[in-house]
Chains A and B, each alone.
Chain A
Amino acid sequence: MNAWSRFRRNRLALVGLVLVVVLAVSAALAPWLAPYDPARQSLIEKRAKPGAKYVLGADEFGRDILSRVIYGSRVALLVGVLSALIAVAGGLLLGTAAGFVGGWLDAVMMRGIEILLAFPYLLLALAIVAALGTGALNTTIAVGIWGVPAVTRIVRGSVLALRETEYVGAARALGAPVTAVLRRHILPNIVPSLIVYATLFMANAILLEAALSFLGLGVQPPTASWGLMVSTGRDVLLVAPHVATVPGLAIMVAVLAFNLVGDGLRDALDPRLRGSA
């Protein structure tokens, strides 16, 4: 049975996939889907309750919350995808280096990674943001760096295991250069685990971006980021609860979607990973 038919039988994973597609479509078609300009202010309608004109209500500056939630999906997906790329690229580089070179390099890197993995994730991201500064790009980098240690460990483990297989030994005995061995024999074997990890990572990346933006240390106003919207809504929580709570729902749906798809992919692609992530 191939991976897709195994994935398809998992109903929750399919729900997740549909949600991911909805997110992707709303990010891609935001200008056409959003009923209003997300930055358009209408101060006389500030904190408008959800109704006919503003389906999800209006925020502190009278901006349409639905439009901002739709545009916010761009930030969430962009940070999610790019930080996952950073994590995977960095982890591949460091993991293959540690796995192939071995020796003291491997030992030093693994100790360092153990320290990083032991460290509370938000504190690490906060330290990186404190150093880099705020903004969408720096948030992406901070979230991406946070993912590097875990990917490094996955890649290193696979490289160590694959290095001992007979076909890799045969390829090297035949004189294949290291890069060719990596590309032809090692990488294809790691890809399934990396896809699974990257999907689950995106769920956490979206959560982390939202958390950093909520603290005021991530994406900066006036960009429509969900975490930032919850943060501005917090100031008027007691008079207009919808301003803060509605964007939070969007975060939850997006995170849930990637978690469901990731779980489904893990069961379909790489059953050995079950329970480890």
Chain B
Amino acid sequence: MLTFVVRRLLLAVPVLLGVVFVVMLTIDLLPGDAVTLMLGEHATKDAVAKLRDHLGLDKPFVVRYLEYVARVAGGDLGRSIQQNRPVAAELADAWPATLELTVAALLIATVAGIAAGVASAVWPNSFFDALARLGSLFGLSMPIFWTGLVLIVIFSLWLNWLPVGGAGSLNHLVLPAVTLALPSVAMISRMTRSAVLDVLREDYVRTARAKGVGEFWVLGRHALRNAFIPILTLLGLQSGQLMGGAVLTETVFAWPGLGRLMVKAIFARDYVLLQGAVLVFALAFVIVNLLVDLSYGLLDPRIGRQG
């Protein structure tokens, strides 16, 4: 068990190295001079030279890449250009809010998606099934930032139930979490429906029914447990989509998280901060998928841990 976790964590290292490489390379290919863009047209030659030196921009790309990786490995993410604070501190301020938002959204998406999917599969071609399938079609087509605004109009402006934006209380969390969850609800309910329909056709389900197991237990003990494997894979992938969606949701609801920090960093051309934020997202993605891989074994003893 422990060796499996350790090995998987080691496998994550090349992924993270690759992500840093891609991000640094894209930034490096920037047309025009990054420093002039940061300081504006009228910056003195002295200031430009100083910042270039500070960022190490005169060194070749590969050297800068290796230096950055070495520093990150030592726990130093550099200082943000705009705020001149350690990037690690800025990220530490922002990530709990994003974690709160994405975990809440993942919970909503899992519960609502699986419930809708199971109901669709148990009563296929019913009115509810048609409604759920139509709903998921729309859910996948709605731009998330627009859904957020529509929810604000309905629940904050018209009904006056929930706050427009900001963070701090459970009330603040409801709208952003639901907004972020909706596309995933659509994906998960689609996947659950087809997975449960497949499992319900299996012989062991027929056997269970034949020996008189109640329909509730057939679903709970036999069907859901086996349908959960593909659903779990999807959940891991959805967590990546949730992080992307968090950037938009945080912007819509003025949620003080990593996504908003990242957009700000791009506007300010604060590449040191941007790299740090991307790294945190990539790390989170790797960890979530590790957890998904670990839970396969818990659900299905046949899946070994040779990883």
Do A251 and B143 touch across chains, with their CB atoms under 8 A apart? yes
Do B281 and A123 touch across chains, with their CB atoms under 8 A apart? yes
Do A234 and B149 touch across chains, with their CB atoms under 8 A apart? yes
A133 to B18, CA, bound (A): 22
Do B149 and A248 touch across chains, with their CB atoms under 8 A apart? yes
Q: Which residues of B contact A28 (CB under 8 A)?
A: none
Q: Which residues of A contact B146 (CB under 8 A)?
A: 230, 244-245, 248, 251-252
Given A119-B285, A120-B244 in contact, is the A127-B143 Cβ separation under 8 Å? Answer: no
Q: List 18 A-B contacts (CB under 8 A).
A: A115-B22, A118-B285, A120-B285, A127-B23, A131-B27, A210-B145, A214-B248, A214-B251, A215-B247, A215-B251, A217-B266, A227-B145, A237-B149, A238-B157, A245-B149, A245-B153, A251-B143, A252-B146
A203 to B183, CA, bound (A): 14
The B146-162 residues at the A interface (CB cut-off 8 A) are 146, 149-150, 152-153, 156-157
Do B244 and A123 touch across chains, with their CB atoms under 8 A apart? yes
A230 to B147, CA, bound (A): 11
How far, in Å, is B207 (CB) from chain A's closest CB?
A: 27
Do A129 and B266 touch across chains, with their CB atoms under 8 A apart? yes
Contact with B along A200-213 (1 / 0, CB 8 A): 00010001001100
- With an 8 A cutoff between CB atoms, is B127 at the interface? no
Given A203-B141, A256-B137 in contact, is the A230-B149 Cβ separation under 8 Å? Answer: yes
Q: A127-B278, A131-B28, A252-B138 are in contact. List 13 more A-B contacts (CB 8 A).
A: A119-B19, A120-B281, A123-B262, A127-B27, A130-B27, A131-B26, A133-B31, A203-B141, A233-B149, A241-B157, A248-B145, A252-B143, A256-B141
Do B15 and A255 touch across chains, with their CB atoms under 8 A apart? no
Q: Which residues of B contact A241 (CB under 8 A)?
A: 149, 153, 157
- With an 8 A cutoff between CB atoms, is B216 at the interface? no
How far, in Å, is A26 (CB) from chain B's closest CB?
A: 18
Least CB separation from B230: chain A residue: A275
A118 to B243, CA, bound (A): 12
Do A131 and B141 touch across chains, with their CB atoms under 8 A apart? no
Contact with B along A113-127 (1 / 0, CB 8 A): 001101111110011
- With an 8 A cutoff between CB atoms, is B194 at the interface? yes
- With an 8 A cutoff between CB atoms, is A112 at the interface? yes
- With an 8 A cutoff between CB atoms, is B44 at the interface? no
8 nearest A-B residue pairs (beta carbon): A248-B146, A122-B244, A131-B26, A120-B244, A256-B141, A255-B141, A115-B18, A120-B240
- With an 8 A cutoff between CB atoms, is A128 at the interface? yes
Least CB separation from A125: chain B residue: B244
Query: How many residues on A have C-beta within 8 angstroms of the other chain's C-beta atoms?
Result: 44
Q: Which residues of B contact A233 (CB under 8 A)?
A: 149
- With an 8 A cutoff between CB atoms, is B218 at the interface? no
Contact-residue bracket for chain B: 35 or more
- With an 8 A cutoff between CB atoms, is A259 at the interface? yes
Q: Which residues of A contact B144 (CB under 8 A)?
A: 211
- With an 8 A cutoff between CB atoms, is B164 at the interface? yes
Do A252 and B141 touch across chains, with their CB atoms under 8 A apart? yes
Q: Which residues of A contact B156 (CB under 8 A)?
A: 238
- With an 8 A cutoff between CB atoms, is B39 at the interface? no
Q: Which residues of B contact A227 (CB under 8 A)?
A: 143, 145
A118 to B16, CA, bound (A): 11
- With an 8 A cutoff between CB atoms, is A157 at the interface? no
The B200-234 residues at the A interface (CB cut-off 8 A) are none
| Chain A interface main SS type | helix
- With an 8 A cutoff between CB atoms, is B241 at the interface? yes
Q: Which residues of A contact B14 (CB under 8 A)?
A: 111
Least CB separation from A207: chain B residue: B143
- With an 8 A cutoff between CB atoms, is A35 at the interface? no
- With an 8 A cutoff between CB atoms, is A216 at the interface? yes
Contact with A along B21-48 (1 / 0, CB 8 A): 0110011111100000000000000000
- With an 8 A cutoff between CB atoms, is B282 at the interface? yes
Q: Which residues of A contact B251 (CB under 8 A)?
A: 214-215
- With an 8 A cutoff between CB atoms, is B176 at the interface? no
Contact partner, A123, options B153, B157, B278, Cβ 8 Å = B278
Do A256 and B138 touch across chains, with their CB atoms under 8 A apart? yes
Q: Which residues of B contact A12 (CB under 8 A)?
A: 137
Contact partner, A115, options B15, B30, B157, B252, Cβ 8 Å = B15
Q: Which residues of A contact B269 (CB under 8 A)?
A: 130
Contact with A along B264-297 (1 / 0, CB 8 A): 0011010100100010011001000100000000
- With an 8 A cutoff between CB atoms, is B140 at the interface? yes
How far, in Å, is B154 (CB) from chain A's closest CB?
A: 9
Contact partner, A121, options B18, B28, B138, B244, Cβ 8 Å = B244
How far, in Å, is B156 (CB) from chain A's closest CB?
A: 8
Do B240 and A127 touch across chains, with their CB atoms under 8 A apart? no
Do A122 and B143 touch across chains, with their CB atoms under 8 A apart? no
Q: Which residues of A contact B278 (CB under 8 A)?
A: 123, 127
Do B30 and A248 touch across chains, with their CB atoms under 8 A apart? no
- With an 8 A cutoff between CB atoms, is B97 at the interface? no
How far, in Å, is A251 (CB) from chain B's closest CB?
A: 5
- With an 8 A cutoff between CB atoms, is B142 at the interface? yes
Given A115-B18, A251-B146, A259-B141 in contact, is the A122-B27 Cβ separation under 8 Å? Answer: no
Q: Which residues of A contact B245 (CB under 8 A)?
A: 122
Least CB separation from B277: chain A residue: A123
Least CB separation from B263: chain A residue: A215
